[in-house]
Structures are given as C-alpha cells and as structure tokens.
Amino acid sequence: MAIGFLTVLPVGPIRPGPMGAARAYFPLVGLGLGGLLAGLDLAASQVLPPPVVGALLAAALLVLTRALHTEGFLDTCDGLLGGRDRESRLAILRDSHVGAFAVVGGVSLLLLKWTLLVGIPETERIGLLVLFPCLSRFAMVTSMSVFPYARTQGLGTAFQVGAGWRQLATALVTAAVAAGLLLGIAGLILLAIATGVALGLGLWIRRLLGGMTGDTYGATNEIAEVVVLVAGLTLIQLTPEFVGAPFW
C-alpha cells in the first residue's frame, strides 16, 4: 500500500480502508526512490552535462511520485499564505484552482531542487541521492504521528486509522540505519534535521489549521527534501570528517 500510494509503480490498486500500517514503510519506499534516482544519475552523467542531469533527476522524482507531494505543497502555499482564518485556509486547500502563492512557491521549489541536485559533489553524491527521499518521507511519518488531523474527512484520514507509535518506531529504525550506513554521522545529523523540519512545520500548521491535512503532509515532504539537501551539502563542505564516519 505504501508503494502504491507514494509512487506511480504498478503494484496494484490501493484497497480502500485503513492505511495506518502502511506509513511504517514510507522511509523504505523513499530509499527505493533514491535508488532509482542514483541509478538514473549514474547512467545520465556518462553522456550529459550536470545541469541536464539535475533537471532529469528533478523531473524523474515528479514522475515517480505522480507529483503527489508537490501538488500538496502548492495547495499548502495557497491555503496557509492566502487564507485569513482557519475556515478560509481549509477552504482554499480544497480548491482545485492554483493561485499566485502556489505558482511562486512551485517555481521556487523546483529551482531549489534543481540547483541542489546539480551541486552534490561526486564523493558523496550516491549516498545523498539515495538518502534524501528516505528522510523526507520519515518527516511525513513524524507529522502523521505527532499532530492531529484537521478534518474529519480527507485523503490523509486513512493513514490515521489503525496507526500507532509502532509505525513511527519502524520508520525511525529504517531511516536511522539507512542514514548511518550511507553517510555515517552526517546521515544521523540529517535525520535529526528532517525530524526538526517535521516538528517545526507541524507546530506552525497546527496553529493555523488546528492540525494537519493531506496537502500539508505533502508540503512537509517537499520542504524536508530541500532542507535535507541544503544541510547535506553544508555538512559535506564544512564538516567532511562527519560524512561517512561510522556512527558506532
């Protein structure tokens, strides 16, 4: 269910009903997406210049995820920045039209991702490419586990039914092991940063909406991807001794 919801991969239709148990595997799906990105990067970089490869990676992530999280980010930009109170923000989030905040936010998001993907150095490129989609999806699990849902109905309610702290623990173990093996101490630092992004955004969104929605889950993923990439590049440049250093 996690693969079918989070990706475009043909693993069969998602059955209706509770999907809370599936969120335990969000980071594992993120690792799979990161592996596909790393494979594409290895193949494309043999014949194409880095700016083109970066654009292909950003486009591939959109295609592989059906732009699900990006759409949530766009709606969140319109709803949180364009609404005046809780009711108007929730109404805007349900509106299928795209406003000015969504356009500006979407352009900024894609530009940032493209620039960051181009800028990953060769020495740690594979590790960061594989890891960042995993950590951003752990950030979504954190939001789902810590903060209430703002509506009684909506796409995200299915992930609240049948879920508990066991799913968060499973997701945390997956993300922590992947982070430590791929980037060592730096990976664990990035995991902490992704968690901080989820908690910080969640507190802000709960103040504005009273809780999370499916769109804000997607926005959390997109923002966490960018922040993890920025932090990863910073760690590689400023503290190279942490990158790849054993976490044990």
What does the pLDDT look like over 70-100, one tens digit per residue?
999 999 999 999 888 888 888 888 888 888 9
Count of alpha carbons within 13 angstroms of residue 190, beta-carbon side = 43
Would you kindly state where each structural domain of the chain is located, as residue ranges?
Answer: 25-238
pLDDT recorded at residue 17: 64
The CA angle 14-64-243, to the nearest 5 degrees, is 115
- The widest CA-to-CA distance across the chain, in whole angstroms, is 52
Buried b (16+ CB within 10 A) or exposed e, 16-26: eeebbbbbbbb
Name the stretches of the chain with pLDDT < 70. 12-17, 153-157, 160-163, 241-248
Dist. CA 151–CA 52, nearest whole Å? 41
Dist. CA 221–CA 217, nearest whole Å? 6
Residue 159: closest CA among 37, 36, 24: 24
Q: Where are the beta strands (DSSP E) in 72-121?
A: none
pLDDT recorded at residue 191: 98
Dist. CA 129–CA 115, nearest whole Å? 14
Instruction: Report the predicted TM-score, pTM, of the whole model to 2 decimal places.
Output: 0.93
pLDDT recorded at residue 12: 57
